[in-house]
Amino acid sequence: MAAWPGGGQKPFHIVSPLLESLPLSRAAGTKVYMKLENVQPTGSFKIRGIGHRCQEVSAGGGTAGARGLVPPGGSAGMATAYVARKLGLPATVVVPSSTGPGTVRRLEELGATVEVYGEVWDEANQRALELAQSDGWVSIHPFDHPSVWQGHASLVRELKESLEAEPDAIVLAVGGGGLLAGVVAGLQQVGWPHVPVIAAETWGAHSFHAALEAGRLVTLPSITSVAKCLGAQTVSARALECAQEHRVISQVVEDAEAVRAVERFLDDERMLVQPACGAALALLYSGRLQRLQREGRLGTPLGCVVLVVCGGGGITAAQLRGLKSQLGLE
């Protein structure tokens, strides 16, 4: 397990592998390292921040010590259920109706009570907040809390220990903005303030891109993308602040691009990831980095970039086939 700065409780996440990808490097025109968060205990990066937050509330950080945890959403719920089980606390996970049966089953296997509520994450989150009104129960927000961001910052500290020099860019996907906030915090902490972050979304789940264009938070009327893990109708205020404090380049891809990238990555690296991760992969496969260089938005030449492979715990081969059929990619 990774050591926590300043000591304290041992974290629940692992130090994830950092591997060079020859296929992605060929496609992107520069050396690409993969930070494999898909091999975390619950299949995504969320165990970093949520694990840190759950440890905090179970020890009484800001509370009298939690008696139970209430997270909204599938991947965040998975992380919370895993940590709750380790801490000996009950967890009730609220998921929207778009959540697949496999995710619900895995949550129940981890010992969580699952409640299906609403059609999108935002509605599930409102229900989680209601349930957390019970005495001693604490709502675990998946992306909008300083402790979550601090937990995610551990990813960058690991990069600092593994790389000989700072990367020329970090490529990641943005949903609610927790990973972005954590990576920006980590870059500041390790002395890499000039490393740009390239933030990928899909159209129909592009609340961060919409906020950047408007210069304020924007609430999407609905989530129409197949990348449900990116499906926060409103990005966190901290994500927008990060774009004002740090160099963040927003890029949006079509659902079809993301799903094609998922399939290509499966062939190239023999790892199945979710369409949310496919959005970031699509930037590398489609030549977006080269275009950003031509536009003067990225340096030339690039020494290396890091891709955060954010998660693969919420997809199966059958679901990938279903997405391809839905999008007419068969």
Residue 193 located in a structural domain: yes
**CATH code of residue 225:** 3.40.50.1100
Helix locations, 163-316, DSSP H: 178-189, 207-214, 237-245, 255-269, 275-285, 288-294
Query: Which residue range(s) make up the domain with 93?
Result: 68-134
Peptide bond into 196 cis (omega under 30): no
Q: Specify the pLDDT at position 6.
A: 41
Residues 125 and 215 in one domain: no
The last residue of one of the domains, among 111, 134, 157, is 134
Q: Specify the pLDDT at position 60.
A: 61
The tally of domains found in the chain comes to 2
Residue 62 located in a structural domain: no
Which residues in the chain show pLDDT less than 70? Answer: 1-8, 60-66, 135
The last residue of one of the domains, among 76, 103, 134, is 134
The last residue of one of the domains, among 91, 107, 134, is 134
d(CA 260, CA 233): 24
Residues 151 and 219 in one domain: yes
Residue 99 located in a structural domain: yes
Residues 124 and 80 in one domain: yes
Q: How many residues does the chain have?
A: 330
Q: How many CA atoms lie within 13 A of 43 on its CB side?
A: 20
For the stretch 211-238, pLDDT in tens is 999 999 999 998 899 988 777 899 999 9
Residues 36 and 152 in one domain: yes
For the stretch 142-174, pLDDT in tens is 899 999 999 999 999 999 999 999 999 999 999
Report field, pTM of the whole predicted structure over 0.85: yes
For the stretch 54-71, pLDDT in tens is 988 887 644 445 678 888
Q: Specify the pLDDT at position 108.
A: 93
